[in-house]
Amino acid sequence: MVVLYLARTHRYISSSLLTSNMTLVSDDPSYWPLINLYRLSSYFVVASFAAVVYDWALTFGEEVELVWRQRWSHVTLLYLGVRHAAIPYVASVMLISLPSVSVTDAVSHVMYVTLSWTSLAITTMLSVIVTIRLHVMYRRSRRMLIFLIVIFLPVTMAYGTLVAVITSNVSGEEYILSGTYMCYYNYDGAPLPMSIPWALYIVWEVIILCLAVWVAVKHFREWPLVWTTADSFAVLIRVPMVYFLISIAVSSLSIGYFSPDIYDSSSAGSQVYYGVFEILFFVQMFVLGPHLILSVRKYYAKLVVKSDAGPYLTAMAFQEHTHVSTSSTSGV
């Protein structure tokens, strides 16, 4: 996200504006196409914010029952970290993207650096959640855990290095073009291979998708009478697979953005392309990410209140160990 936002804002501003070291005010009609594109971009940001807020409001009751009222664990902390960073993060992105909101140079720079490191932290927490889920799905295999860590660490380190280099060489400026406020970020460092971290994430996501499919097939073979139920299939397949598929789509779109046909284009189509990426990115992180935990806990809570829950609980070997209350007012 940080990479694409930097590339996008840098591409939109003409070379005549790059010499400015202060807030620039202009009513030049030649910038109207740029203003229209910026306004179009803000619509996608607002839509992303609405989707995140809607999902949070829709599942808040379940979160209280299944997370806050249960015994806390490291998975709980990961869930809360991702879930409750969502609205401040997306609201901040919306703040610096709305053409009617003025943000000073210093504030825009601070917000950019903060959002960059927050994005890295959230992405890392999501990767840890996925690693834990796969580890438990593979019956807590030590070899599988080591394999996942060996893949996960280089990817995270590469992304972290890129964020560190970018944030240490970026400056924020405000432009007011025909009454439209725009935040522009200028990167002053050496050229960076911006598509490499996303390519590494695609490799990571393809691997975890294949591992999840494989363990699902294995479970179906071992417990055909249990795992063919609709609920079990939904818990094991639906949310994780949608998450993995959208993750791959996000990474693929991010790499495709650097294609000359899209990156060098100032058309509405290229802006829509980025807007679709932006919505999928926020949905992946702040909607599907927390649901990786919430959906499993929700199903686990339903099993507990059933009189014949015993065999099902054995089958739910892929879930983390959590305290479960069987009272009607508690969840997982």
Global pTM exceeds 0.75: yes
Predicted confidence at residue 325, as pLDDT, reads 45
The total number of structural domains in the chain stands at 1
Give the SS3 label for residue 128.
helix
Q: What pLDDT, on a 0 to 100 scale, did the predictor assign at position 327?
A: 36
- The maximal CA–CA distance of the chain, rounded, in angstroms, is 73
Angle of helix 105-137 versus helix 2-12 axis, rounded to 10: 150
Is 200 a domain residue? yes
pLDDT higher than 80, residue 309:
no
Decide if 330 is inside a domain: no
Q: Domain range for residue 260?
A: 2-315
Q: Note whether residue 322 is domain-resident.
A: no
- The better pLDDT of the pair 49, 318 is held by 49
Asked whether residue 324 is domain-assigned, the answer is: no
Q: What confidence tens digit (pLDDT) does each residue in 226-249 have? A: 444 445 555 556 777 788 888 888
